[in-house]
Amino acid sequence: MKKQLVQAMKTAQTLLIYYVDGDGHITERYIRVLEVKNNYITAYCFWRKKVRTFSISGILTAGRSGKRVI
């Protein structure tokens, strides 16, 4: 997973992730990874329109987004 996130950061690729938060809620997010550090990533979330921090262990799946997000 970490290698995929680093590659997405290097290529400025938009990803679709399914993420489980600390309360157990699962959300779908379109993100652009800005930084990968230890067990966390910093990413721009297109739905929240904010830079957010995500735990790598909370990312259930990550894949290329077929959707073009600007």
Domain assignments of the chain as residue spans, ordered by start: 2-64
Longest alpha-carbon distance in the chain: 32
| Cβ(31)–Cβ(42) below 8 Å | no
- For 3-28, write each residue's pLDDT tens digit: 999 999 999 999 999 999 889 999 99
- The domain defined by 2-64 carries CATH number 1.10.3470: no
Tokens standing for residue 19: 């993420």
The structure's pTM equals: 0.83
Amino acid code (one letter) for 57: S
CA neighbor of 17 nearest in space, from 48, 37, 38: 48
Look at residue 64 in the predicted model and tell me its pLDDT. 81
